[in-house]
Structure 1
């Protein structure tokens, strides 16, 4: 018997019956989950929260790293490791070795406890729809702190962006955000981390657009900028004296300065390629050596310690050393030696297994390269720039060669100098450097490391949905099959015209033997002729098959190559057990639907 509608409690009545504490929790959770999915205001609030968390992460990690430097190297309060004169040289040698041993122990534990590879924000946004493991992110942060804290020649920026993006991804998962919004919220975490680290909100925002999200859209602008601003505000409130890069006065830019700036950009592009290949060379040499993976950081720490005996400025990220060399007049020989030592130390640190990035190291080496170039710049044209100006140009140009993000590095120059004509000069040099790297090499440091691991991604653009659209999800499993030894007349009786278009032929072992087109079997026979022949004589596409793990793009390529409208799906290329069939028209339709849905998500239509 139907229930009286008047007796059915309404949602409002149900809520009234709940206890106040339960009601408050229900409303708050549901509101927080629905708001970001339905309004831009909700995504803005989520981005701001991610920025606050990023700012806190940067502050906490910076305090921990500086405390480690002070305790391990006996530094005075406020001293930067790479800019300090460490009195006890034995510490300079031993500390990186001890850090390598500690990191090796961590790697040994991870090899037994956590088998899967650690995913970074770029890979998460490109392949996994913004899904990042917070546990993995914290592991990366700990490894980065150990590496930097004991003096390895790596910066903390990789740890900042990893843990901030991990927290942002966790927040997005809790709010059940869509795939496109998840990618934006991960970008918000990275933007906040870079903004807080360099006191540069514009740099942080465009770092997210160019390197983490892969595109600038109106939908992503507000939350990403809000995250960068909130993170920078939090960091400056908690550590007001710890801000950015100070290059001093950069002078006046004249048209003649563009010629040496373009030359410097081209030089930085070539040096960036050599630096990335140097890291890959060290990694490959370490992999081919007899040293186990957990022992390589110790060997790398020993080499870094020996280099630091020549110049302690190679230790850590290089903040102190950058300020030291920007403010002082340094001889050309000293600049050249320091540049080579820092490049070798960074390549050895990363290649031997220390965790970190080349962000600040590339800024430091670029500044050194710019000051070196200042000695020869006047001979190229009637240039008038001071060495500090060339340091800014080199800093941004080498960083864009290694890290990528032309606008990111241009805005960094703007926020560092506050000089618009200087920023335009930097933009010209940065574009030149980026063009050289893309033309001759094709990768940034992050995507180059993906390439070495066998991944094909070159940017954070979302290609994960393509990989998820696999043949096993597209195929039909209810296919008609027949034994390849069946006689033609029996085949005609079993599969009359109109019953099906195609029949999959299999041999006596169940192995794929080709496709038989029912219309061809009937139309190419004269009554009584060849009816005793086996149906395998009509088999087509014997070697053209699809595998269930192929994605839609790979399937379309095979359809084009075979010129077939449908192909069988087999288990593998050895057994070739038939699993189903897939048509080209269905594949193209589903691919187009997913492509359109992805486009509408990015543009905010969904």
Structure 2
């Protein structure tokens, strides 16, 4: 995280304030140039990394489900560093990929040194990945549930104890560097009949959106370039994203600022609609170009945009808390995209530090989204990145 912040502050020449504010203050041409440089760094960096480390993947999902919890340490740490750098430069990818990958790779290497068996190596690698997620977003319980529900696919007492312990320790250690407060500042949202009604509506819509989102990520991953093309593909795609950022600077970065803007009702309906279309395209294009990064925050941002846009129309007929509409959309899309309703619910509650007013409508929205996504047999955004056999 220190590397990501240092990169962003260096590239965009700012000392304080939000990443979006810094992007908005620089000229249009500099946005394009910065993203072009990020694309060049991504293309050359990952090509050199593959040349240096040889064959072998550096995906947490692949390691857990196909490779007995084994991750190549040099490839994984190198990929994590590159991911942090390009996200700090404005790539439309999530920042959580790097700590997840580093945590899992270190756990894998320590397991090998200790000569731990396959089952325990896989467990520890998953715990390392979940702990990386937990410390970045200050979500210890959500990180533990992500370990169990998403990475291991089962929730049991035997597995829960190490998952909870590692996420708690990682989060506590991160407080020495990162602020312990919530990731998103949520205006007060009171429980209302309007919010309950909106939850029933937004759930199925979010489920459909999650189906489309996951399919986009699958197509992007399946069409990642091979041979010499990874050298130039990120340059071309990132330059295009930089051009789109001239009218829509919110596209740059992982999407954290988009979520905060929607929570504060600071975006008009036309801008919400444009970002709802362009943010998934920018993320899928960045992933499909050969760059490596996370999908957690881009998924939350997509759901927040959907919830805020739908809330605009809903409020015309039945006024309610705009921030609540946004949170419900974000949680529902996240749950359906990850295929993890419990983890997604807890993650959104921890990210916003709210529970009383939103718990019941949030559960209704998540349930509706899960029913629709399961109807289409939708996999998780993490499992679609598994290599085909």
TM-score normalized by structure 2? 0.92
Which structure has the bigger radius of gyration? 1
Distance in 1 (CA, whole Å) between partners of 2:218 and 2:154 is 28
Deviation at 1:240, TM superposition (A): 2.3
Residue in structure 2 matched with residue 292 of structure 1 by the alignment: 229
CA contact (8 A) 2:56 2:72 kept: no
Deviation at 1:63, TM superposition (A): 1.4
Distance in 2 (CA, whole Å) between partners of 1:337 and 1:89 is 18
CA contact (8 A) 1:75 1:84 kept: no
The answer to whether the aligner puts 1:261 opposite 2:196 as a matched pair is no
Deviation at 1:137, TM superposition (A): 1.5
Distance in 1 (CA, whole Å) between partners of 2:196 and 2:167 is 32
1:411 to 331, 335, 346: 346
Residue in structure 2 matched with residue 139 of structure 1 by the alignment: 78
2:334 to 399, 403, 406: 399
Instruction: Describe the superposition over 1:120-174 as per-residue Cα deviations: whole angstroms up to 9, x where unpaired.
Output: 2222222233222222220220231232122110111111111111112222222
The answer to whether the aligner puts 1:429 opposite 2:376 as a matched pair is no
RMSD: 2.4
Change (3 A) 1:160 1:81: farther
Count of residues paired in the alignment = 388
Structure with more contact order per residue of length (Cα contacts < 8 Å, sep ≥ 6): 2
Residue in structure 2 matched with residue 501 of structure 1 by the alignment: none
Distance in 2 (CA, whole Å) between partners of 1:322 and 1:83 is 17
2:108 to 148, 169, 182: 169
CA contact (8 A) 1:65 1:145 kept: yes
Instruction: Describe the superposition over 1:438-492 as per-residue Cα deviations: whole angstroms up to 9, x where unpaired.
Output: 2214312221222xx314xxxxxxxxxxxxxxxxxxxxxxxxxxxxxxxxxxxxx
Structural mapping, 1:96-495, within 5 Å = 96-240=35-179, 243-254=182-193, 257-282=195-220, 287=225, 292-378=229-315, 385-415=320-350, 416-450=352-386, 453-455=387-389
The secondary structure found in structure 2 opposite 1:445 is coil
Deviation at 1:324, TM superposition (A): 2.9
Higher strand share: 1
Deviation at 1:259, TM superposition (A): 3.5
Distance in 2 (CA, whole Å) between partners of 1:168 and 1:107 is 23
CA contact (8 A) 1:250 1:417 kept: no
Change (3 A) 1:232 1:128: same
CA contact (8 A) 2:134 2:140 kept: yes
Task: Point out where structure 1 has 5 or more consecutive residues left out of the alignment.
Answer: 1-61, 456-606
